[in-house]
């Protein structure tokens, strides 16, 4: 099994896919690919039907798109509990995950990651300002506060126990850190900030960050 990922310093979707497979306990190899030149993009097109990463090569098949990789992992590794066990909590976790997968376009636009804006390390950027970004951030704070308020007793993650939703919000946390966003300005009472800090302190994210900064291979 092989996961194709983009640049570890800024490929947010690659990080999500990798976090899910790590949490699943999957035995997988990582292949670093690039898409920053026409030649590299052409080479990627031969490996990824959509031309995007992450892509999972498994059992002679190609699974593309992070959400699909996550759902495949949840089915392939049921004991890992990648979705909450309770059906309604699972529906809420899927809602939060889908909202990230298809939304928060202002956050992605105004706090975009790239060579100059890594999601790892100590580099920090000026906080951008835009009404659409403010709306996204207020929604993110409300989501984090609501779910942490409901599920906090079960653990430090969005739905108590770690789930795919946490993988999807880890790059959001990294953006909040890099762009020095004060969640208190968007209605946080401390719960959302604490959750962001928990995501950034997770051992798997720390491992990704260390290898991204050190240029060493991921296991």
Residues near ligand GSH (CB under 6 A): 6, 11-14, 35, 41, 52-53, 65-67
**Nearest distance from residue 132's CB to ligand GSH, in Å?**
19
**Nearest distance from residue 195's CB to ligand GSH, in Å?**
22
**CB nearer ligand GSH, residue 164 or residue 183:** 164
**CB nearer ligand GSH, residue 41 or residue 149:** 41
Tokens found for residue 84: 């909450």
Q: Is 159 in a helix, a strand, or coil?
A: strand
CA 33 to each of CA 5, 117, 145, 165: distance values in angstroms, whole numbers, following the listed order? 6, 19, 36, 25
**Nearest distance from residue 184's CB to ligand GSH, in Å?**
29
**Nearest distance from residue 16's CB to ligand GSH, in Å?**
7
Give the whole-angstrom CA distance, residue 32 versus residue 155. Answer: 33
- E strand intervals along the chain: 2-5, 29-32, 55-58, 61-64
**CB nearer ligand GSH, residue 45 or residue 201:** 45
- Name the DSSP class of 84: -
**Nearest distance from residue 23's CB to ligand GSH, in Å?**
17
**CB nearer ligand GSH, residue 56 or residue 141:** 56
- Cβ neighbours of residue 60 under 8 Å, at least 6 residues apart? none
**CB nearer ligand GSH, residue 35 or residue 83:** 35
The two counts, helices (H) then strands (E), for the chain are 9, 4
**Nearest distance from residue 215's CB to ligand GSH, in Å?**
19
136 CA to centre of own chain = 16
Strand pairing partners for 29? 2
Residue matched to tokens 């690039």: 34
**CB nearer ligand GSH, residue 51 or residue 152:** 51
- Name the DSSP class of 219: -
Residue matched to tokens 């100059």: 116
């Amino acid at each position: 099994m092989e996961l194709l990922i983009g640049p570890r310093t800024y490929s947010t979707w690659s990080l999500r896919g990798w976090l899910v497979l790590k949490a699943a306990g999957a035995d997988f190899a990582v292949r670093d690919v690039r898409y920053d030149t026409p030649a590299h993009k052409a080479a990627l097109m031969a490996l990824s039907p959509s031309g995007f990463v992450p892509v999972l090569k498994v059992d002679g098949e190609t699974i593309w798109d992070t959400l699909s990789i996550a759902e495949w992992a949840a089915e392939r590794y049921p004991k890992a509990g990648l979705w909450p066990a309770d059906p309604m909590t699972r529906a809420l976790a899927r809602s939060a995950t889908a909202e990230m997968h298809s939304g928060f376009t202002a956050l992605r636009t105004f706090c975009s990651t790239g060579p100059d804006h890594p999601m790892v390390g100590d580099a920090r950027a000026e906080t951008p300002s835009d009404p659409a970004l403010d709306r996204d951030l207020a929604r993110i704070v409300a989501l984090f506060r609501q779910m942490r308020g409901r599920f906090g007793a079960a653990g430090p993650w969005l739905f108590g126990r770690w789930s795919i939703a946490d993988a999807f919000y880890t790059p959001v946390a990294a953006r909040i850190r890099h762009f020095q966003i004060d969640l208190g300005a968007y209605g946080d009472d401390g719960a959302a900030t604490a959750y962001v800090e928990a995501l950034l302190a997770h051992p798997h994210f720390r491992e990704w960050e260390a290898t991204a900064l050190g240029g060493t291979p991921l296991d």
